[in-house]
Structure 1
Amino acid sequence: MQRAAAEALGLHPAAEHIPALFALHKKIPAEDHHLEYVVRRALMLQIRNSEILKQLDWKALTSEQRSELASLSLAVPTEQAALYLLRYLQAEKADPEKLPEYSRHMVRYLPEEKLSVVIQMAQTQLAENLDLQVEVIKAVLQGYQQKGLRIDAVLSDWATRLTQTLLKRQEKQSIQWVNYPLNEVDSKNPWMLQHRASADGNQSAPFLCSLPAGERATGRLISQLFTIPEKFSFYLAGHSGFPKRPENGRNYVQLRHLDDQRVLKRVSVPRNDLAQRVDWDLKEFAGTEGYLEVVDSDSGKIYAWLAVGRFEPDVIFIPCQGIQQQINHWSAAAFLVEQFQINAARQNLVTLLTEPFLDPKLKNELASAVMVLDGTDAFLPLFPLPVPQNPAAGSFQQDVIQAVIEQKQDQVDVLLQRAFKMYPSRLQTELGRKVSQQPGGTERLIVYAEQGKISPQLLTEPAIQNQIQQTADPELRRRMKILLSALPPREKKTQENIVQHFKSHATFELSVENGKAVFEKNCAVCHQLAGKGAIVGPQLDGIGNRGLERLLEDVLDPNRAVDINFRTTTVITDAGRIVSGLKRREEGAVLVFVDNQGKEFTVAKDDIDEQQQSSLSLMPANLLEILSPQELHDLLAYLLQSTKKEATDH
């Protein structure tokens, strides 16, 4: 009966129906969600009539009723509904979470002359709430865009003042910690500031904790670099698996050496809510540079978190505000600079960008804002930059940032070649797609493939191939056809192996020493690393900069992206003998080659009937048949710790 009555009132809007509907709304049982919906919809249908909304007796409404009508006004796309929202916000204390939505609706439907009132009101009411100001100005900007309005001086001045405040608030905050996502799916920063009790009786000290973000959240928190002291202590709380089951080893804190990324000390969580003291004797490492690595890699539903704090000596410390709040303020400043073209803030962004220790996502946002200010679109394909594995492995990223800061667009070609050389196949594909969309980009990719700078396999990616096919230049299509005709077949099983070992790497108990032994036994005949081994194939110092995914591609699918200098040559002699190897040099009447065991052999020039360079690598493609899974992952651990110099390609 009540539902039918409410529906009838909704179909026949009238000002006198509003009090009756509010009276019914007050009597709705908490469990009757359907009646709640019907009554609220009937109220919304009343105020869709602008005349009824205009005649509304404001004084007769309670504060709760005014709030209900404000919420329903969001479903009413009229100027009168926007005017009601403006009056409501001027007279009532609104729910802060709804302010951005209210602001967007007002800007969208208010007459243009009223917009300055909305902006002034937001600045006045939210003067002490920077985070909410950011959300509201974004909503106002969206409203301007929906309305097709140009940014006026009132909005622009607000954006400039807000940007200055955001940057000023942060300029004295040093960057102590950066979160490196464990994978691209879980890229959200889980580390929050939380006060916790400790086993020594301290009842409330600040900790960085992954629990408030939810126990399924994961992350890898890296401290700033510091000089390692002789002794170091901190407090640690948390869990890694159900209490009565074996500890899974996924949540821990460890100290790494900067130069070679060695783990110097490691401790797992104590499986206790109460923070326990950890003491490390570091005399043998004192005076060298290192950093702390805090890892929550346990995505379990419960007993899967950690908290760390109270460091002594204070070579590192817990920030006075949450890590993500600090990042959000800088990110908001970058957004405003980019959207409102605030040139006066460029130097502030550049100062931040020159910080070697910066959140990877934030670094991309700051660089994007600088590129928009400078009009340096040529850098766009290089962004977003991939996340480095550790603080010592970001040299390429920093070189790109420096070129952006100095506006050196003439370096784009060199930087692109470096990126293709070090990126895994997945990132190469994304980079190639973005390059192909740039003016002259398709020809650049063709040239790179012809010069051996990228694998022609990249040109088979649908988005890239389509860009080339759509070009008006038939010569480009002909050159692509020639490149693709020489491609070796790609095996589905190889890619499956790469994915499997990428996912399982963290589950192995790794030994860098064992990895070194595997390298010396199986790889040093052709590769040199840290001064040991032969230089037949590429020299590998700095190979760790490529990261785990690209390394797996290099060792398990060596024919995927072969540098032109390391492609094998096949020789057919007059006698019909066929030999393959890497051509090293000419010695008078003979050519000198090297085989995949690192041994040299010669072929007389006069005996050669035919020779042709292939797209294949000298490196064997059956490493999984040669090494056990443990040996493979120990080898990867050994290669990953080499980050001093970027290596050449296969």
Structure 2
Amino acid sequence: MDHAHIITELGHANITRRMLATHYAVDSEDEQLVRHIRRLLNRGDLENWKQRVHALWVTERSGVLNDAILGDVVHDEAMEVRTHAMHLLAERKDWNKTQQNWVLLALHDDHPNVQRAAANALSLHPNENHIRPLIQVRETTPDNDPQWLYGMRLALRNQLRDEDSWHSLMGYDFSEIDAERIADVAMAIPSESAGDFLVWMASKHEVKEDSLLQFFRHAARYASREQLNNLAHLVPRKFPNKSELQLELFQSVRQGLLERGEGMSPSILNWGSQMVRQIMQKNITSGETWSYHTIDGVKNTPNPWFLQVRSSADGDRDSTFICSLPAGGESYTGILRSPIFKCPEQMSFHLAGHDGYPDNPRQKKNGLRLVDSISGQVLQEAYAPRNDTAQPYTWNLLEFTGRNVFLEIIDADEGAAYAWLALGRLKPEVIPFPELSPNEEGKRLVSAAQLAGELRLNQYIPNLKEWIVGPVPDASVSIAAAKALSRLDEANLPARLSDLLQHSGKLGTAITALRKAMIAETHTTQRALLSEMVGMLPLRYQQEVMNLLSNHATSTGWLVTQIKEGRLSPLTLRNQVAYSKMESVVSGDVKILLKEWKDSLPAPNHLLQDLIERRSEGFDFQNANLTNGRALFELACSQCHQIAGEGALIGPQLDGVASRGVARLIEDILAPSRNMDPAFQVYLITMADGEVISGMPRREQGNAFVLADASGQELTVNLSNIRTRNLVSQSLMPDNFDELFDDQQFTDLVGFLLHDSSH
């Protein structure tokens, strides 16, 4: 082919034709053509920048490009040519000193495309001599150019991936901004030096709180033991009055150590112990605490109540309100109950918020009420003003003056909009507002309880018992305290039933008995009170007791006794998960007895098959209430399953489940292990101490093995403490849905699944 034609094609406006000409020049092995192209490039006779770019690649791919020509190219007047020169150097395996300098100089080029290409080239050629130039250029990198910023961060990160490269930073006089730039990329480098640098950075410079948590999480995973000990001293010194932040950072350190399979040093243990002590010293059970309570018949949600500055109708814009409108949580519900106080003659306050959509009638779900603490009588009520701006209210309370009373702020509206309330400007100030947002205070106490259990701080058992029975900001605090108590006193069987405390609204008397059993002084008394409590429970909750206590020989023996003495129904043995765990920890006569009891039950498969057939044949979509079905899904299924983007992804995702047909869908709900996807099989794990755990594997992180249990919650075990783990052909999904829902509720749920998954 004519050489002149090829040269012309190298500069054609169409990229495809330019590439075809380039490939032809290289692949034709026409040495005269290649030399001619190199000569034109060398003499600067290619006026079209497209020709120069493609001539550059022809000579490079043909192995005839030398530094004399490349030196002119990197200074070409066209930024496109300079950019391709950087791309070309990026693809070379090694650089000489001259080529390295060209790339470093290109970081300061007038055009951002050349700068980005130079940064990319440096990212592919890590060298300790590139670090300081990159730090210097990073200072002038515009934050509004994400591509350039990413290229610089990637280049700097790659230089520091080699452990030896950190030594080149020794003696470097870091400005605070320099240190920030290095710390920014250090969090992406899994090395000891990177972790150590982050601790050093936090000790020498002021660091924003949102960055600190990221720094220390990474440091906990990779930093040296020496630096982790420094961290344990550093954080309390820098944040002496920020227990919430300290708790977050400590949890990050603890999780990081768990992931790398290491225990906590004495310094770190002492740090954790000091934090627990500071929190425990606050007397939160004195009756002076605002406490959160769930609402019967409404789905449990996170505590929505927090502190917020809001505007009022009289022009005030600086007052603090207790509000139930957290970000992303307008559908959250709950009652916030004040401490008890003496009723004044009059009380004024401001309310803001809504009670359903403005064009609908008032629901009377969101409001404030004054309650007699002795009788429980509601003395006064006020409802949301249906206004974002707080409105004034006044109560005349002469007839109730002097009584012991408390306030309840109620948000019972599960709607996604116009479903919140705020209270503020209380006069007289008979009770102080919380110092912390109620939803944050609960989290802080939960963390303290968890640490007390994990760090084996037995001296705080009395405090934990107070949190189990006393008023606390959030029901989750009592649950966490009971869990911690069960770790500190493993023979306390009632404490292992901590999850039942969330049902206090439905099981009032039984839960009161359970709390008493948890805090009893002796194990004998604990078990006697627990036996009484179990007899109060309906079968559904006896099943939960079976699940929670069937993981150890001691507690399994107690369960067997309860069945023998008639307090626990033998029907609980239909729970195959619990039965499998019990069977694995008992032997001899007890094992035989369990089997006899189970075998003597009505044939569950026949009963279940009859139920499946009856509900399949009788299902009529027209009879399904889809609103109720959605509520049932959120209550019983969303912890593990997702549909239309709502819910969790522990079990199978349910979009498209309608394609299974009614009969198969009903069978999959009522007999979840019958047609189980192997990807969702359950592990039965026996720990070194004899405890048996069941759950679906989620992931392994270092020495940590994370599973999901039947409630959708994640639990973490130490791989080195596992004695055996076996897959069982059994679903994590409960197999007692026939007991949970009556026929109409089941129809509503199936109707919702068929409708929502088909859209």
- TM bin, normalised by shorter chain, reads 0.5 to 0.7
1:409 aligns with 2:516: no
State whether residues 183 and 201 of structure 2, in contact with CA within 8 Å, keep that contact through their aligned partners in structure 1.
Answer: yes
Distance in 2 between residues matched to 1:57 and 1:622, nearest whole Å: 71
1:71 aligns with 2:184: yes
Identity of aligned residues (%): 28
CA positional deviation for 1:92: 1.7
CA positional deviation for 1:107: 4.0
Which residue identity is paired with 1:39?
M
1:240 aligns with 2:355: yes
**Which residue of 2 is the match for residue 384 of structure 1?**
499
State whether residues 349 and 366 of structure 1, in contact with CA within 8 Å, keep that contact through their aligned partners in structure 2.
Answer: yes
1:318 aligns with 2:433: yes
TM-score normalised to the size of structure 2?
0.58
Query: Cα 1:426–1:25, aligned 2, differ >3 Å: closer, same or farther?
Result: farther
**Which residue of 2 is the match for residue 367 of structure 1?**
482
Partner residue of 2:367 out of 232, 252, 267:
252
Partner residue of 2:383 out of 268, 274, 279:
268
**1:159-206: CA deviations, max 9, x gaps?**
333333223355698533212234896532211122334445655333
**Which residue of 2 is the match for residue 548 of structure 1?**
none
Query: Cα 1:260–1:314, aligned 2, differ >3 Å: closer, same or farther?
Result: same
State whether residues 494 and 518 of structure 2, in contact with CA within 8 Å, keep that contact through their aligned partners in structure 1.
Answer: yes
Partner residue of 2:581 out of 457, 464, 467:
467
1:335 aligns with 2:450: yes
Aligned residue for 1:387, secondary structure, equals helix
**Which residue of 2 is the match for residue 175 of structure 1?**
288
1:448-459 paired onto structure 2 within 5 Å: 448-449=562-563, 452-459=566-573
Q: Please list every run of 5 or more consecutive structure 2 residues that lacks an aligned counterpart in the other structure.
A: 1-82, 84-113, 633-740, 745-759
CA positional deviation for 1:89: 2.0
State whether residues 482 and 518 of structure 2, in contact with CA within 8 Å, keep that contact through their aligned partners in structure 1.
Answer: yes
Partner residue of 2:205 out of 87, 92, 114:
92
1:424-503 paired onto structure 2 within 5 Å: 426-442=540-556, 444-445=558-559, 448-449=562-563, 452-468=566-582, 470=584, 472=587, 473-485=591-603, 489=607, 500=628
Say which structure, 1 or 2, has more relative contact order (CA 8 Å, 6+ apart).
1
Distance in 1 between residues matched to 2:476 and 2:534, nearest whole Å: 21
Query: Cα 1:487–1:116, aligned 2, differ >3 Å: closer, same or farther?
Result: closer
Distance in 2 between residues matched to 1:433 and 1:30, nearest whole Å: 54
Please report the RMSD computed on the Cα atoms of aligned residues, expressed in angstroms.
4.1
Q: Please list every run of 5 or more consecutive structure 1 residues that lacks an aligned counterpart in the other structure.
A: 505-620, 625-650
1:120 aligns with 2:238: no
Distance in 1 between residues matched to 2:230 and 2:599, nearest whole Å: 62
Distance in 2 between residues matched to 1:30 and 1:85, nearest whole Å: 22
Distance in 2 between residues matched to 1:84 and 1:340, nearest whole Å: 28
Equivalent residue pairs, number:
507
Partner residue of 1:293 out of 405, 408, 422:
408
CA positional deviation for 1:28: 5.9
State whether residues 144 and 150 of structure 1, in contact with CA within 8 Å, keep that contact through their aligned partners in structure 2.
Answer: yes
Partner residue of 1:204 out of 303, 306, 318:
318
Query: Cα 1:40–1:170, aligned 2, differ >3 Å: closer, same or farther?
Result: farther
1:122-201 paired onto structure 2 within 5 Å: 122-169=235-282, 175-182=288-295, 187-199=301-313
Distance in 2 between residues matched to 1:173 and 1:324, nearest whole Å: 19
State whether residues 44 and 75 of structure 1, in contact with CA within 8 Å, keep that contact through their aligned partners in structure 2.
Answer: yes
CA positional deviation for 1:503: 5.1
Aligned residue for 1:77, secondary structure, equals coil
TM-score normalised to the size of structure 1?
0.67
Which residue identity is paired with 1:366?
A
Which residue identity is paired with 1:166?
I
Distance in 2 between residues matched to 1:501 and 1:87, nearest whole Å: 55
Which residue identity is paired with 2:597?
R
CA positional deviation for 1:380: 3.9
Aligned residue for 1:127, secondary structure, equals coil
Aligned residue for 1:55, secondary structure, equals helix
Aligned residue for 1:304, secondary structure, equals coil
CA positional deviation for 1:12: 1.3
Query: Cα 1:119–1:451, aligned 2, differ >3 Å: closer, same or farther?
Result: closer
Aligned residue for 1:279, secondary structure, equals strand
State whether residues 485 and 495 of structure 2, in contact with CA within 8 Å, keep that contact through their aligned partners in structure 1.
Answer: no
**Which residue of 2 is the match for residue 627 of structure 1?**
none
Distance in 2 between residues matched to 1:387 and 1:227, nearest whole Å: 30
Query: Cα 1:262–1:345, aligned 2, differ >3 Å: closer, same or farther?
Result: closer
State whether residues 539 and 569 of structure 2, in contact with CA within 8 Å, keep that contact through their aligned partners in structure 1.
Answer: no
Query: Cα 1:47–1:345, aligned 2, differ >3 Å: closer, same or farther?
Result: same
State whether residues 304 and 332 of structure 2, in contact with CA within 8 Å, keep that contact through their aligned partners in structure 1.
Answer: yes
Query: Cα 1:185–1:18, aligned 2, differ >3 Å: closer, same or farther?
Result: farther
**1:517-565: CA deviations, max 9, x gaps?**
xxxxxxxxxxxxxxxxxxxxxxxxxxxxxxxxxxxxxxxxxxxxxxxxx
State whether residues 82 and 106 of structure 1, in contact with CA within 8 Å, keep that contact through their aligned partners in structure 2.
Answer: yes
Query: Cα 1:206–1:622, aligned 2, differ >3 Å: closer, same or farther?
Result: closer
Query: Cα 1:623–1:259, aligned 2, differ >3 Å: closer, same or farther?
Result: farther
State whether residues 217 and 299 of structure 1, in contact with CA within 8 Å, keep that contact through their aligned partners in structure 2.
Answer: yes
State whether residues 516 and 529 of structure 2, in contact with CA within 8 Å, keep that contact through their aligned partners in structure 1.
Answer: no
Aligned residue for 2:381, secondary structure, equals strand
Distance in 2 between residues matched to 1:5 and 1:441, nearest whole Å: 66
CA positional deviation for 1:91: 2.2
CA positional deviation for 1:418: 4.6
**Which residue of 1 is the match for residue 11 of structure 2?**
none
Which residue identity is paired with 1:91?
K
Query: Cα 1:164–1:66, aligned 2, differ >3 Å: closer, same or farther?
Result: same
**1:330-374: CA deviations, max 9, x gaps?**
333323322222334344444444525553211122233344334
Distance in 2 between residues matched to 1:75 and 1:460, nearest whole Å: 49
Query: Cα 1:344–1:106, aligned 2, differ >3 Å: closer, same or farther?
Result: same
State whether residues 289 and 473 of structure 2, in contact with CA within 8 Å, keep that contact through their aligned partners in structure 1.
Answer: no
State whether residues 373 and 404 of structure 2, in contact with CA within 8 Å, keep that contact through their aligned partners in structure 1.
Answer: yes
CA positional deviation for 1:44: 1.1
Which residue identity is paired with 1:279?
T
Which residue identity is paired with 2:550?
S
Query: Cα 1:444–1:235, aligned 2, differ >3 Å: closer, same or farther?
Result: same
CA positional deviation for 1:237: 1.4
Aligned residue for 2:601, secondary structure, equals helix
Bigger Rg over Cα = 2
Distance in 2 between residues matched to 1:375 and 1:447, nearest whole Å: 19
Query: Cα 1:109–1:501, aligned 2, differ >3 Å: closer, same or farther?
Result: closer
Distance in 2 between residues matched to 1:486 and 1:300, nearest whole Å: 40
1:83 aligns with 2:196: yes
CA positional deviation for 1:209: 1.0
State whether residues 347 and 395 of structure 2, in contact with CA within 8 Å, keep that contact through their aligned partners in structure 1.
Answer: yes
1:223 aligns with 2:330: no
Which residue identity is paired with 1:482?
S
Distance in 2 between residues matched to 1:231 and 1:401, nearest whole Å: 37
Query: Cα 1:256–1:393, aligned 2, differ >3 Å: closer, same or farther?
Result: farther
State whether residues 374 and 407 of structure 1, in contact with CA within 8 Å, keep that contact through their aligned partners in structure 2.
Answer: no
Larger mean Cα displacement after TM superposition, 255-264 or 45-54: 255-264
Which residue identity is paired with 1:217?
Y
Distance in 1 between residues matched to 2:156 and 2:192, nearest whole Å: 18
CA positional deviation for 1:462: 2.7
Distance in 2 between residues matched to 1:354 and 1:444, nearest whole Å: 24
